[in-house]
Amino acid sequence: MFAAAVDQGATILNVPDTVGYTLPNEFSDLVRKVRDRVVGDRTDITISVHCHNDLGLAVANSLAAVTAGARQIECTVNGIGERAGNASLEEVVMALNVRADRLPFETRINTSEIYSTSQLLSRTIGFGVQPNKAIVGRNAFAHEAGIHQHGVISNPLCYEIMTPESVGVPANELVLGKHSGRHALALRYEELGYTLTREELDTAYHRFTNLADRKKRIYEQDLLSLIAGDSANVQPAAISNSDQYVQAAVA
C-alpha cells in the first residue's frame, strides 16, 4: 500500500499506532521495513508516525521510530488526544534535547516556551495536567526528600537532567515536608531574610519536623512561627495544627 502511494506521488507516509498496542521494538521494525522496502535512497519521502498512549508507550514508540528512519512525529501538547492521548510534544522534544548523544536530531522547537504553552492549553480546555506529568507537571522540578534537596542546593544537575528554565519553568521548588532536611530549611529561612546559627537551626528543625508530622503543607507563616520566640524581629505566635495559615506578627 505504501509503495502504491509513492507510485502515485505521495511524499509523506504515515505509520500509525492508532490503538496504542505496539511495543517500541515492534514499531521500530515496522518503520525500518517501510524505509528499506519503499523509501530506499529517496530523500523526497518522509516517514511520519502517529502513536497513541493506551499502554503508556506513545513517546517511546515515537522515539524508536525516529531511530529507525522516521522524520516526522505527530504529537500533541500535554499529550492530549483520544482515550489515553497521543505522544506528548514536550516529552518528545526534551528527550531529543537531553539525549542528543543517542538521538542526534533537531526539532527547531523553542523549548523555553514549552511550559507556558502547556499552561495556555490547560486554561483553554479547562483541564490541567497531572502533578507528576513529565516536563510540565507541578512536581516535575519539585524536591521534598532531604538528600535530594541538599543535592539540588549544591548542584541542581545532581537530581535534574534539565534545568527548569530550559522549558520555561521559573525555578525548581524545594517542597518543605516531613522528608525535608536542614539544608532546605536553612535556605528557606535565608530567602525569608533570616540567617540562623547552627544551634538555632537545630532548634527550628526539631520544631519543624514535629509540625510536619501534623500538617500536610508548611507555609511561610509557619516557619516564622517556629522561630518567633527566638528572634528579636518576630513576635511569638502560636503554631496551629490545622492546614490554615498561621499568622505571625513581624516587627
pLDDT greater than 90 at residue 213 = no
d(C-alpha 217, C-alpha 142), whole Å: 14
What does the block give as the cell for 129?
495536567
Domain 110-173 has CATH 4.10.430.20: yes
The vertex-22 CA angle with 7 and 91, nearest 5°, equals: 95
d(C-alpha 155, C-alpha 162), whole Å: 12
Quote the pLDDT of residue 73: 97
Residue ranges of domains in the chain: 2-109, 110-173, 176-251
Asked if the domains 2-109 and 110-173 are classified in one and the same CATH topology, the answer is no
**pTM of this structure:** 0.64
Quote the pLDDT of residue 144: 47
In CATH, which superfamily holds the domain spanning 2-109?
Aldolase class I (3.20.20.70)
Quote the pLDDT of residue 168: 81
Q: What is the pLDDT of residues 42-68, one digit of tens each?
A: 999 999 999 999 999 999 999 999 999
Q: What is the pLDDT of residues 82-105, one digit of tens each?
A: 999 999 999 999 999 999 999 999
